Amino acid sequence: MITCDMAVSIDGYVAGPNQRADAPFGDGVGDSLHQWMFEAAEENAAEIAAITDAGAFVMGRNMFGPGRGEWDLDWTGWWGPEPPYHAPVFVLTHHERSPVQMEGGTTFHFVTGGIEEAVTRARAAAGERDVSIAGGAATVNQALAAGLVDELRLHVAPVLLGQGERLFDGVGRTELTPAGVRQTALVTHLRYTLSRTAG
């Protein structure tokens, strides 16, 4: 199964404008979208654990790091020496780079062939386990538009951001099936299943 977890505002934003190295979620967001993970980790433990419970991950260039051009080879992601993935992570990019092996089982692989190739490689690496589309919004939107996602898990923070990077842009009309909901003080967890249309 291919899953996707996204923290999102009620008005559908996953990040504010002007994402950059010192403000990876952009202006005006602060920790409003992720407060539930940091301040209420116990109450939301099941949903937090599920985010990284996959055999392989796919992520976009901007989620892995700032900048859009050639790689800064000293950059190994936002997550320190031991990223929370503990599995292969396939990073979409236009620039070739050798794999980067981190502590704790995470290896970043760089894929220049687009979302379908990244998902195919992630599936092969995951074996029987799930593949997770880790973000950001552009990568998730590509995967949704290509019909590659089986289960979408939205973590809706109780805030309207009003501007920024929007989930679902360009995905087009899609029917989903409600598959579960749980509300805590800082977040509402919504699960949906999708009928695969491609991939």
Number of residues binding to a second copy, judged by CB under 8 A: 34
Which of 180, 195, 196, 197 is the binder for a second copy (CB under 8 A)? 180
Of residues 86 and 166, the one with the C-beta less far from a second copy? 166
138 lines the binding site for a second copy (CB under 8 A): no
Alpha-carbon span 96 to 153, nearest angstrom: 31
Q: 44 has which bridge partners?
A: none
Q: Which two tokens stand for residue 170?
A: 């360009």
Please identify, among the stretches 40-48, 51-59, 66-74, 169-177, the one whose residues bind a second copy according to the rule CB under 8 A. 169-177
Backbone angles phi, psi at 36, to 5 degrees: -60, -30
Alpha-carbon span 136 to 63, nearest angstrom: 5
Of residues 109 and 191, the one with the C-beta less far from a second copy? 191
Which class for 177: exposed (0-12), middle (13-18), buried (19 or more C-beta within 10 A)?
Answer: exposed
Please identify, among the stretches 71-79, 85-93, 112-120, 172-180, the one whose residues bind a second copy according to the rule CB under 8 A. 172-180
Alpha-carbon span 116 to 122, nearest angstrom: 10
Q: Name the site residues for a second copy (rule: CB under 8 A).
A: 10-12, 28, 144, 154, 156, 158-162, 167-168, 170-178, 180-188, 190, 192
